[in-house]
Structure 1
């Protein structure tokens, strides 16, 4: 007689986005089949059994903002950033941190060969298939052009054939940003196809102007990256993007909101009933401008390890407002924005020196140990440093330590932010992000808190392909004990158990979150409703 279940979790404190209960979970053929107060001996006969020992059992994490296998070689000498993690190493790091699904970015460029979004996706998918993935995965599409025929003809194909139901647009970076008119073109096409529009909201003109002024004063070391992007840069851009979205009634999500000013703009729009959502990330709760002076001196190039965009807030006063945003629903999702660049690779952080003419004057080309010698003598120029830090593995443990265990959010809110809302926003629910019969058996089981020994993190404990972590030395009070992907244990007690081909590509549907209050789409003061007649 065949076993009723393949895997059973007993003695768990089972947490969903709405409830907490003490129950058991039965898994069969990659799916959750039953939740019950208990199972009989006959029901669990032949099944693998995991005793959660009273610890939290949650839906597997969904990290909807992960950069893998991306090239950002936009520097004057063709260097620029090259993501340190491919799908194998990045997803390995994900499962070790309790994340079972990642959504990454197929990136269009302005080169003519990237005009077709379909070809961009096909080329990016080949990179994923080349290595395989430990975690399930899907793609967003980054759009940097407003070619009318491509938007008209290819967006429906991306939805139908690839299940890509989200696009990302930029308001900064010379090689990627769109003008307001171009933003409206893409947002209008996205709305017609029920594609969720993600916005990187920073005012590119303000950043360029401030960068020029800083360079004029010789203020080019990594720390000054923060001064080129004060919170007002995000505040202005979020406010402008909300107005654009309101004009054509297009639901939007702001990625990596890191300032109280940006969060306040989002909250105001939500109070008005607009379909405006926001994502935030661990760096904005754990780092400040002071961390850009962490290494040796404010002008030390090693501080480039801490550069991300937007930068963390100036001080921890913003962090209190951001915690409030987690609590009150201003933030819909909590992602890592894992964007990894090595410090020992010419296509990583060292491009901030290698691309800088002043730093390289009188220097010969160098590699390996010679790069480290060069970096120790030069402060580089922040303009050329790739923006991004690693964080896919530490995302859930940081939120557990800093918010859940500290009483700033409930266990239900933790699940909502890290799994259920990403699944709903990006068309994966209830296949993902849920613990109910028929859902994929994706779970993360934590350690019983009283049995876990807090520790201080070192990079050697992580599983990414990056030679540093911005959270080195930070204390963690819990870590995933088990990660389960569609019924298979892929991480257990500090060891990788899965394989690079365990992950499957996930086609997604439209967002299941609100499209705004009824009636707001007909107000002639703010909406061009005639567009849809």
Structure 2
């Protein structure tokens, strides 16, 4: 019997950002076609059927902060990303993510002056391997060449659908001074491009790092001491002042501390268009995890280095969960920035660049790491997490009642789609939306397990969440109507994903009648 559907999901508890309802879902030509309390056998016909068995069915995850395929020239700390578009997207889809927004990174070398050429280069990397899931680009801007900003930003929007850029307030090779930040923000504003900000005070970090190193405090653990929460809080406050000056919407990426979250919440309360993102590492790790392996000075603790670092203790985690609950955080992303541990282009850079002769003495890297402390300031900053993002928040957030299933969908799918101009094609379960779905195991059906790196599908030789207990994991991941992951089996192919052109931010530009106080706002700039 023929069917009007290609795929039907039955007996599911459909969860959106606003509702939970029992619906069957009919999918046709890669789109959501019909939602109904139930389908008859005539409706189903010969369509493929997935029985959700009462489990939650949600929009596929959108991970809006993923680093892939970046080389030594562009990577923070001199490392090389372990994942390309194939391996990174493979890992993503096995963890319930159906769309990712990755970074095309400008550098200060002359060949990267053109933003268009940077995007073309990253597109070539994506095309070379393909992607299991749909993807888009943010552009990282580390120069304020006015001709490039004026001439190329409109082309990025029109040709590529790139409607977000990222700027840095730290890292010597990437950060912009305040006046340069204003230049980029103003150019972005004119083109309806959302400005993403890595907010850490670079001068404070450099000063603290010099003091630590002068005392011989160079082991991985001291990375955290070089970046106390006040470093992030100060930079967030300063960025808000700059953005308010020219009325520019901004998003703070990977917020890791209550110091920063409180500043952001205060700005939102005043009606400013300030958005924020946090990540799994800030809800699940602390400074103590930088002492996890063998001893506080063991180089293996480099596996936990990311920036900002996790907070000193669990009190910030409680505050960040409140931020997820009350709307301080708009989205929840992974900041998947993968570096291998046992690799001369991975975390081992912290030893090899500190003591270059060690690279030629014939000692295996793993053995070398047990003999050398290395230098934390040279260790590539970043950890893997694209596959564990959704299961971590589901297990430790939804299953414990710390956030509702609807809030989970809002943070992981619907708001990312709206913020980055993909809604309602993505992030929704509506007729006409792409049939991107994640179906969990029914409650109690999956025996809880302790995670090991062998469970995962990235190209990294460790996970920072090794040994953590998980009570659920995506049972099915469906991308545009195709079942990509089912019962622990990868079914998709590397070229199933498509590039996505995006529209502007759909979450608004702040309170329309907000008083433009000349003590804070330079409204005349736009005249």
1:524 is displaced (CA, Å) by 1.4
CA distance in 1, matches of 2:444, 2:497: 33
Match of 1:315 in 2: 313
Match of 1:172 in 2: 170
CA distance in 1, matches of 2:513, 2:177: 29
1:514 is displaced (CA, Å) by 1.6
- Contact preservation (8 Å) 1:341, 1:386: yes
1:365 is displaced (CA, Å) by 1.7
Deviations 1:433-489 (A, max 9, x none): 000000000000000012111000000010000000000000000000000000000
CA distance in 2, matches of 1:242, 1:152: 23
CA distance in 2, matches of 1:2, 1:153: 53
From 147, 154, 157, the counterpart of 1:149: 147
**What is the TM-score with the length of structure 1 in the denominator?**
0.97
1:79 is displaced (CA, Å) by 8.4
CA distance in 1, matches of 2:418, 2:360: 49
Match of 1:8 in 2: 8
Unaligned runs of 5+ residues in structure 1 are: none
1:375 is displaced (CA, Å) by 1.2
CA distance in 2, matches of 1:59, 1:50: 16
CA distance in 2, matches of 1:523, 1:101: 40
1:73 is displaced (CA, Å) by 4.2
CA distance in 2, matches of 1:366, 1:137: 43
- Contact preservation (8 Å) 1:52, 1:445: yes
Match of 1:17 in 2: 17
Match of 2:202 in 1: 204
Deviations 1:61-99 (A, max 9, x none): 000000000124479xx9821000000000000000000
Deviations 1:480-503 (A, max 9, x none): 000000000000000100000000
Match of 1:32 in 2: 32
Match of 2:447 in 1: 453
From 419, 429, 437, the counterpart of 2:423: 429
Match of 1:62 in 2: 62
Name the SS for the 2:207 alignment partner. helix
Count of aligned positions: 527
Is 1:412 the counterpart of 2:406 in the alignment?
Answer: yes
Name the SS for the 1:283 alignment partner. helix
CA distance in 2, matches of 1:148, 1:79: 27
Match of 1:90 in 2: 88
Is 1:444 the counterpart of 2:430 in the alignment?
Answer: no
1:45 is displaced (CA, Å) by 0.2
Match of 1:285 in 2: 283
Name the SS for the 1:127 alignment partner. helix
Is 1:253 the counterpart of 2:247 in the alignment?
Answer: no
Match of 1:50 in 2: 50
Deviations 1:363-408 (A, max 9, x none): 35267x7112211110000010000000000000000011111101
Unaligned runs of 5+ residues in structure 2 are: none
- Contact preservation (8 Å) 1:95, 1:490: yes
Name the SS for the 1:64 alignment partner. strand
Is 1:135 the counterpart of 2:133 in the alignment?
Answer: yes
- Contact preservation (8 Å) 2:74, 2:106: no
Name the SS for the 1:440 alignment partner. coil
Q: Which runs of 4+ in 1 moved over 3 A?
A: 72-75
Name the SS for the 1:141 alignment partner. strand
CA distance in 1, matches of 2:11, 2:519: 56
Q: Report 1:261-276 matches (<5 A).
A: 261-276=259-274
- Contact preservation (8 Å) 2:9, 2:52: yes
Is 1:481 the counterpart of 2:479 in the alignment?
Answer: no
CA distance in 2, matches of 1:79, 1:372: 20
Match of 1:522 in 2: 516
Match of 1:503 in 2: 497
**What is the TM-score with the length of structure 2 in the denominator?**
0.98
- Contact preservation (8 Å) 1:521, 1:529: no
- Contact preservation (8 Å) 1:7, 1:27: yes
CA distance in 2, matches of 1:455, 1:396: 16
